[in-house]
Chains A and B, each alone.
Chain A
Amino acid sequence: MSSAMYERMRANPKFEQLVARRGRFAWTLAFIVLAMFYGFVMVVAFNPASLGQPVSEGSMWTVGVLVEMFMFIFFWVLTAVYVKRANTEFDALTQEIVKEAWKGNK
């Protein structure tokens, strides 16, 4: 029974839509995080001095502190963005797919 359900869901064009949209979104966000983080690690490894520069004359805030603080906040905002979209748009789409598969069951 449930195998037939899965087949019907798979056949639903909305399923392709869900997979494509969510996949693209999730991988894009993951790529941004990985690129920024490993980019930062590379700067730390190969050009550490650049991170110690003050952001402006006389300021104790360095480029490195600001960049990191930004990443802490930005990465968290990205998780919030993903959760928001997944819990509304993607979940609604999923529910439609499941509902339509049940209908086909009758």
Chain B
Amino acid sequence: MSKKILIASVVVIAIIFLSWQMSRPVTLTIGIFAGNNWDVPQGEPYAIIDEVIKNFEAENPGVKVKYISGIKKEDYSEWLAEKFIDGEEPDVFFVLAEDFNLYVSIGALMNLEDFIADDKNFSADVYYPAAFNFGKYENISYALPAESTLTFMFVNKTLLAKENIALPKNDWTWKDFLDICRKVTRDTNGDGVPDQFGCYDYSWLHAAISNGVKFFRDDGKTSYFADSHMEEAIKFIMELRGVNGGFEVSPKDFDVGRVAFRPFTFAEYRTYKPYPWRIKKYTSFEWDCIKMPAGKSGGNISVMDTLLVGMSSRTGNKDLAWALMKKICYDEMTQQLILKKSQALPVRRDVIISAEAQEIFSWEESDTATITPADISDAMDEAIMPFKFKNYNAAMLYADSELNKIIKGVVPLNNALNKLQKEINARLQY
């Protein structure tokens, strides 16, 4: 008798609990950091996500979306890891490039292939390949791209005009680049020291990428630093360095308008181009951006960095989480918002080449603006994605220090690249 009562009361409690659970509004959480992924100042850090949440909640009644605000980008990685250890990770979260492989390998990110295959309203074709593929690991999608940025060449138009040099076209090459640098590098005030330079901050990395060098095998276990394209790039950098005659160019030189070229991300371009930043940062010269110069064996290629959004593999609301991911990464309205309100580039091709983009990109009334949405779209199509395997940063840091020795002539070039490749391969093994 008492047993029956016990069972009955357990059942009743279970039913009450379940109905209470069911009647509760579903709450989704988003993991997001303040500001942006591109290290440029941003006014309203949560403007876009607030808008996205408002739209999403309107489309899905009974669903609440929340996020924790105030987490800085540099703290985000640790914060997310702590949430995972506590088992309270957000359902949907932004994934930093350096965290992506870790979270895939520990099984924290949901495999999205089934969602992509089952969702008739979703097509990966709308994305730029470099953006969409960035969310893949061993050819399986674990994250969707939300926004991208890529590197362009800043051009000091005032300086070029002063030197009577035409603005280079978007299909310019190393040779054009080198020629212009040679022309502009000189001593303008006659103190015997050159005070006007061709370029600042153009590194072997930019050169190698635009010369079609692939640094590593996809699994990150082997490097290709001894490639002949790499050698060409190094030689080009050494030549470019030779133009300056041993003088080191400082960022201040660029800021005051005494340098013709400097690679910048598009986010920086978006940040500093419009009012008021334009006034604050670069007042003394007019500037614009064009694609990176093409190497002998490459093209006008640069690296496109993409911010990814992933889903926790432990989420209890997979379908809603997928819908939310799509709202952030796939929805045209959201992508338009990114175009309007952030410094980054949307990842949808149709948004980039839309009329709105045309409007937004032409800040200057003059016809001198060289970059058009079509150019940006081309650059994004051609762009390559950065590597993101575990030892990537360490390997590149080592390569940078070794290559700088070569470039500065401390180490002779002859066999140095082979040696470097072996060194790095050995480091990649563990």
**Are A and B associated in one complex?**
no
